[in-house]
Amino acid sequence: MARRRPDSDLNGKIAALLRDFAAIQTSKQKTWGYKRAAAAIQALEEPIESLLQPDGTLKKIPNIGPSSSRIIREVLTTGTSATIEEAIARSGKKPDIERQRGLRDNFLTRSQVLAALRNERLRGPRREDYRGDLQMHSTFSDGSQTLADIVRAGIERGYEYCAVTDHSYGLPIARGVSMERLARQHAQIDQLNAQHKGRFRLLKGIEANLRADGSPDMTADELRQLEIVVGAPHSTLRSKDDQTARMVNAVRSPGVHILGHPRGRKYGSRPGVAADWRRVFDAAARSGVAIEIDGDPSRQDIDHELAREAVDAGCLFALDSDAHSTGELRYAETAIAHARLAEIPPERVINCWPLERLLAWAQTRRSG
């Protein structure tokens, strides 16, 4: 069967061009303005063509000024922006811009996400199949949401459970949580679960940092205190060196349930881990470790094309928001969209499992 691809997306093309324009500005104010305009276009919930009026003007879009509007109309009329391309050629920064352009493959805009969620021809998991989010951060590390906020927002979204996965102590730059603070967090989780028993369950998780050899930065005894462990790379994300051994070791490590944002890529910024991903996926399938699709718009990692290789390898999947605030919980929809485009069978998505099945599976991956 032919693989489905997302429809052509002018929103993404225009947003990328506006980011290019931002990168060559000499004024901080203009740089910020074009970046803000790019973000506004990426966040549009409808194709930008639908906002073009019969007289050739655009309907008002928040955070889009006159200069950005002219560029948008230019792209809608000609398919590109000679204004931006000529400015890049004069700037002396063309090599940097070309490098950034090479780091934008398979990122979905909000419009594409919603189109994939609506597309009934896709056989992947539906929004209504999704029972809970298994990667997010609270005020215990680098998030702005409290545990109570997570529970409230999860219930509002119709979830049965969520896992709070603050950063482990080995990542101080993200305010990694000490074991003492983790114990306090667990006491609060117990209280919240008692209040919402039978309605919602908050799982005790962690996002463990993967060392250079792929091992998590926590001891086996520490990992046993967690219900869900996301192991994720946060270093050596710009190196071209092969890191297959690191990632294979990560999915073989006792106690790791989910390989989180496996590449560690960032939109237009870094390529992430270089590896033979089919070998990694084969090892994950044998170990029963889930491969994450991280829905943060700047990550979208892994994307739908790479996810198809993991499907063929027989992997399980986790579709998560990586939310640091309650407003970011909708990022899970980006992960679901990639899963639908990859046509991942819903039964292989652990977020679609009932709580009892999820916990039973997690127990088989407990350390020791």
pLDDT at 3 > cutoff 90: no
Question: Percent of the chain at pLDDT above 70?
Answer: 97
The tens digit of pLDDT for each residue in 68-93 reads 999 999 999 999 999 999 999 999 99
Q: Report, as an integer, the average pLDDT of 303-320.
A: 98
Mean of pLDDT over the chain? 95
* Percent of the chain whose pLDDT exceeds 90: 92
- Write down the pLDDT at residue 1: 42
- Is the model's pLDDT at 253 over the cut of 50? yes
Specify which residues 163 forms β-bridges with.
Answer: 203
Look up the CATH number of domain 10-101: 1.10.150.110
CATH of 124-364, one of 3.40.710.10, 3.90.930.12, 3.20.20.140, 3.40.640.10: 3.20.20.140
> Which residue has better confidence, 239 or 173?
239
Query: Residues of CATH 3.20.20.140 domain(s) within the chain?
Result: 124-364
What is the reported pLDDT for 4? 55
Domain with CATH 1.10.150.110 in the chain: 10-101
pLDDT digits (tens, 9 = 90+) for 178-230: 999 999 999 999 999 999 999 999 999 999 999 999 999 999 999 999 999 99
* pLDDT score of 351: 98
* Global confidence as pTM: 0.95
